[in-house]
């Protein structure tokens, strides 16, 4: 019979396969179960391979009796003690799905082992109940995802449970009845499709990637969990990141993450610093969340989507920042909303670009104040103008006609002190216009001239043209005032 195509495997091929029963492909449980003798053959060959792996302190016959539960109690105990000390290495084995009720459920054998190194193994199963067996999964493939359990880690270079593993489908930690506690560092340089953590306490780091590892995750969801170690996920591309009812007790570090199309944080707390430096984000939303220490969004791009839309606006509703927040050199392509944000310290908005259309008055006021507080009046004035423009948009004429008119007037003359050249143009234009006016024809002024003359400076007005002159002086004064204010605001407010 032909031998298995896997290197260093001397077993015969299984039926018409090119590989042996250990290495051949496995399928859904029902498919494998219905192949008569398939799962039993895998079980038997796995036991044989373990017996071959174990060193020769015990005879193969004795070990075989041990796995069949046919040894007496004293012998069984000593073999058990011996096996627990040995590290079993599984190379390239493809583990099928199993059911506890089957006599050939191979996980019963794995549970008897003390330490297992899974090397280039593949798994059709999505759950491994190995709470008391130290494991290390290296370069493994989990075709149907994995439901995490508290597997102790077998000592390795990075001391992680999974290194360079590939997870199809979903990696989850969703205990049905009680909170799951994970005591091992989990992933290093692994690739994922979806991750869903729920009701879990992570006593060790979830990710311990190498420095420049740039992975990609379609969905990352963390619900009702506590993270007791630093959460580091740099250089990643994440389609959707949702965090809800979760406590981060150590820093969160997501440096240069790309294409986070949706980031939603609700009812959560970050007790240490949070760093999203140079990340690009689509729709960003936090609500009822507490940031206790420094938060860094420097060089971040918010609101990236297909065009500028309100949906992509960055919102920090009922979110409290107890320490400093850095928005320096950030871009808010689809606007920003800080109107429901609690800020204990002034954020830094230096060189920030913010879409005008979807940003409200209150947010521009907060940004203006942040510049005012540090004496950056030039930038404060820019945001003051935007605040006033928003005030104009948000004021209804029928509610406050005087305010609406005054805001229109200020916008038209100098854009709230931003365009010094506009009042200057008006002065020139007005002077030009005056050269065409024939004062003699303004009969109404004959009645009003005596009134203008009674003013303290009435004697400086030209005889017979007092009222028109008064109006001209007022217009010039207003235009000159706006010109001076605008020039001043270019430098200081």
Beta bridge partners of 91: 119
Closest CB 19 distance from Zn ion, rounded Å: 5
Segment lying near Zn ion (by CB under 5 A), choices 15-23, 136-144, 260-268, 280-288: 15-23
Could you say whether residue 222 binds Zn ion (CB under 5 A)?
Answer: no
Residues in binding contact with Zn ion, number by CB under 5 A: 6
Segment lying near Zn ion (by CB under 5 A), choices 18-26, 174-182, 327-335, 399-407: 18-26
Pairing of β 180-182 and β 290-291 = unpaired
> How many whole angstroms separate alpha carbon 192 and alpha carbon 19?
27
For Zn ion, what does the binding mask look like between residues 22 and 51, x meaning CB under 5 A? -x----------------------------
Closest CB 96 distance from Zn ion, rounded Å: 14
The one among 9, 238, 243, 445 contacting Zn ion by CB under 5 A: 9
- Length reported for the chain: 493
Segment lying near Zn ion (by CB under 5 A), choices 16-24, 160-168, 436-444, 468-476: 16-24
> How many whole angstroms separate alpha carbon 219 and alpha carbon 201?
20
Quick one: DSSP state of residue 88?
A: E
CA 159 to chain centre: 26
Segment lying near Zn ion (by CB under 5 A), choices 9-17, 33-41, 129-137, 181-189: 9-17
Could you say whether residue 13 binds Zn ion (CB under 5 A)?
Answer: no
Q: What order do you get walking across the sheet with 353-354 strand by strand?
A: 301-302, 331-332, 353-354
Closest CB 3 distance from Zn ion, rounded Å: 8
If the CB atoms of residues 88 and 226 are measured against Zn ion, the closer one turns out to be 88
Cβ–Cβ under 8 Å, residues 90 and 112:
no
> How many whole angstroms separate alpha carbon 452 and alpha carbon 260?
67
If the CB atoms of residues 90 and 416 are measured against Zn ion, the closer one turns out to be 90
If the CB atoms of residues 17 and 245 are measured against Zn ion, the closer one turns out to be 17
The one among 7, 8, 12, 20 contacting Zn ion by CB under 5 A: 20
Cβ–Cβ under 8 Å, residues 162 and 192:
no
Quick one: DSSP state of residue 336?
A: E
If the CB atoms of residues 46 and 468 are measured against Zn ion, the closer one turns out to be 46
Beta bridge partners of 196: 172, 221
Segment lying near Zn ion (by CB under 5 A), choices 4-12, 172-180, 314-322, 323-331: 4-12
Phi, psi of 390 (to 5 degrees): -70, -35
Beta bridge partners of 137: 118, 162
| Residue 447 host element (H or E) | helix 444-453
If the CB atoms of residues 3 and 344 are measured against Zn ion, the closer one turns out to be 3
If the CB atoms of residues 22 and 171 are measured against Zn ion, the closer one turns out to be 22
Could you say whether residue 93 binds Zn ion (CB under 5 A)?
Answer: no
If the CB atoms of residues 23 and 382 are measured against Zn ion, the closer one turns out to be 23
Burial level of 206, CB count in 10 A (0-12/13-18/19+)? buried
The one among 6, 281, 304, 407 contacting Zn ion by CB under 5 A: 6
Could you say whether residue 4 binds Zn ion (CB under 5 A)?
Answer: yes
Burial level of 150, CB count in 10 A (0-12/13-18/19+)? middle
If the CB atoms of residues 42 and 384 are measured against Zn ion, the closer one turns out to be 42
- Interface positions with Zn ion (CB under 5 A): 4, 6, 9, 11, 20, 23
């Amino acid at each position: 019979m032909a031998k298995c195509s896997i290197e260093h495997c001397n077993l015969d091929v299984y039926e018409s396969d090119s590989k042996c029963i250990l290495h051949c492909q496995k399928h859904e449980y029902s498919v494998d179960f219905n192949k008569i003798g398939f799962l039993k053959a895998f079980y038997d060959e796995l036991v044989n391979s373990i017996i071959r792996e174990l060193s020769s302190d015990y005879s193969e016959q004795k070990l075989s009796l041990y796995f069949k539960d046919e040894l007496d109690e004293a012998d069984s105990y000593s073999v058990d003690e011996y096996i627990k000390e040995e590290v079993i290495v599984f190379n390239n084995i493809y583990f099928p799905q199993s059911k506890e009720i089957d006599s050939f459920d191979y996980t019963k054998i794995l549970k008897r082992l003390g330490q297992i190194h899974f090397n280039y193994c593949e798994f059709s199963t999505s759950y491994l109940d190995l709470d008391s067996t130290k494991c290390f999964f290296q370069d493994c493939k989990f075709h149907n995802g994995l439901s995490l359990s508290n597997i102790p880690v077998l000592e390795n270079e990075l001391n992680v449970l999974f290194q360079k593993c590939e997870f199809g489908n979903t990696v989850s930690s969703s205990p049905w009845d009680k909170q799951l506690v994970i005591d091992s560092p989990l992933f290093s340089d692994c690739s994922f499709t979806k991750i869903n953590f729920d009701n879990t306490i992570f006593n060790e780091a979830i990710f311990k990637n190498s420095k420049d590892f740039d992975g990609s995750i379609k969905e990352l969801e963390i619900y009702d969990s506590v993270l007791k170690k630093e959460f580091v996920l740099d250089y990643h591309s994440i389609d959707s990141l949702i965090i809800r009812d979760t406590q981060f007790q150590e820093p969160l570090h997501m440096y240069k993450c790309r294409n986070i199309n949706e980031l939603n944080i609700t009812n959560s707390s970050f007790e240490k610093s949070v760093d999203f430096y140079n990340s690009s984000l689509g729709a960003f939303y936090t609500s009822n969340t507490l940031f206790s220490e420094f938060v860094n969004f420097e060089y971040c791009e918010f609101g990236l989507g297909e065009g500028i839309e309100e949906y992509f606006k960055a919102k920090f509703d009922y979110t409290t920042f107890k320490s400093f927040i850095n928005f320096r050199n950030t871009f808010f392509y689809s606007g920003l909303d800080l109107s429901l944000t609690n800020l204990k310290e002034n954020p830094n908005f230096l060189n920030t670009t913010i879409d005008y259309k979807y940003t409200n008055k209150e947010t521009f006021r907060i940004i203006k104040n942040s510049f005012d507080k540090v004496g950056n009046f030039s930038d404060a004035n820019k945001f003051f103008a935007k605040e006033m423009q928003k005030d104009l948009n948000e004021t209804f004429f029928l509610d406050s006609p005087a305010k609406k008119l005054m805001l229109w007037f200020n916008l038209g003359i100098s854009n709230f002190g931003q365009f010094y050249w506009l009042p200057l143009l008006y002065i020139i234009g007005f002077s030009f216009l005056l050269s065409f006016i024939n004062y003699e024809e303004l009969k109404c002024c004959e009645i009003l001239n005596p009134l203008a003359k009674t003013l303290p400076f009435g004697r400086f007005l030209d005889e017979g043209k007092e009222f028109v002159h008064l109006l001209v002086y007022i217009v010039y004064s207003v235009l000159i005032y706006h010109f001076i204010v605008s020039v001043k605001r270019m430098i200081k407010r």
